[in-house]
Amino acid sequence: MDALKAFLTISRANVQVVSFASATLGVFLGAVTLEEVLSLDVLVFVILFFVLITFACNINCVFDVPVDRLRKREIAAAVMYFGKRRLPNLLFLEALVALCLSVFLIFRGHWDVAFLALLGLYLGWAYSAPPLRVKGKGAIGPIPVILGVYVAPLIGGYLLVNKQLTLLFLGFVAGYAVMNLGINLVNTCEDFSEDRILGIRTIAHSLGLKRTLNRAFESTLIGGGTALLCLIGMGYPKLVQATDFACAALLFFTLSIITIFSTSYEIMKVGAGRDLEAAAKINAKKMPKWFVITRYPMWLFALTLLFM
């Protein structure tokens, strides 16, 4: 295993490639024109987002080796490739880069965005690393993921171009976070037996597989619906112009309705099976697809509004 392949493995590159929407949605919804998006500050913010996500993924893989050895052996092997000496250096370098980029944003007048970035760095550590290791604290386990991956980046991106937060935008962030939580809960159920063997108590152990998968379905549907209602509210002033771009935006909005319903339906079927853990293991592989089809129609909707 070469260094690049090992690094991409422990960075969960297959999931990160679909995270560009989370890095830029807040920017798109906060900006008034496309020109505001095409700035050095936004570029630095997007780079910072991926550095933080990489740090969180890397540290999670480091402390999940005992679990991954039971089934996800390629991830455990990738961690072992770097070894105990190089991995701390890698994590330190990622944290240092995140700190430097945050300081840059402070000097650019975005102390609020830098604060959210440093909060994300802390949450990435707290989720996986002892002594906190929140992921093993039962029902509160998903909180660092919700805040660090789905709430802080959207709010930070918005504040980068617009310091006036609105209730509609905050409602969208809440819905978006809950929707993505629903998808992530399927992944939590996937490792149910492996986590239990090693004494790791996740939300799936607190609620049970059936209830967790039911919450996954409900969260995806209700969160996605809430996000869409707020999104159409934010776009309404431009949509009433009835231009070609407005028609395109409405097309993407309609597509988003379809994809959220279809994803929710697929997750509902996971919770309706006889062997829930086996179903979760099989369907967790669909997570990148679910992230793409639920996030990017919203992303395209927000992007289209910038041309109006």
pTM as predicted:
0.93
| Rounded CA separation 300/308 (Å) | 13
CA-closest candidate to residue 142, choices 187, 82, 106, 111? 187
pLDDT at residue 281 above 60? yes
Q: Does the pLDDT value for residue 65 go beyond 70? A: yes
Question: Would you list the domain boundaries of the chain?
Answer: 1-165, 166-308
> 234: how many CB neighbours lie within 10 A of its CB?
19
Mean pLDDT confidence for 207-229? 96
Per-residue pLDDT averaged across 167-180, rounded?
A: 97
> What does the pLDDT look like over 14-59, one tens digit per residue?
888 889 999 999 999 999 988 999 999 999 999 999 999 999 999 9
CATH of domain 166-308: 1.20.120
What is the CB neighbour count within 10 angstroms for residue 2? 7
Q: What is d(CA 111, CA 305) in angstroms, rounded to the nearest whole number?
A: 28
Q: Which residues contact 303 (CB under 8 A, 6 or more apart)?
A: 28
What is the rounded distance in angstroms from the CA atom of residue 204 to the CA atom of residue 217? Answer: 14
Mean pLDDT on 268-285: 91
- Which architecture, in CATH terms, is 1-165? Orthogonal Bundle (1.10)
Q: What is the share, in percent, of the chain residues with pLDDT greater than 90?
A: 70
User: For residue 1, is pLDDT > 60?
Assistant: no
Query: Is pLDDT larger for residue 115 or for residue 190?
Result: 115
Q: Is residue 135 within 8 Å of 128, Cβ to Cβ? A: yes
Confidence category of residue 77, pLDDT binned at 50, 70, 90: confident
Q: Look at residue 97 and tell me whether its pLDDT is greater than 60.
A: yes
pLDDT of residue 308: 78
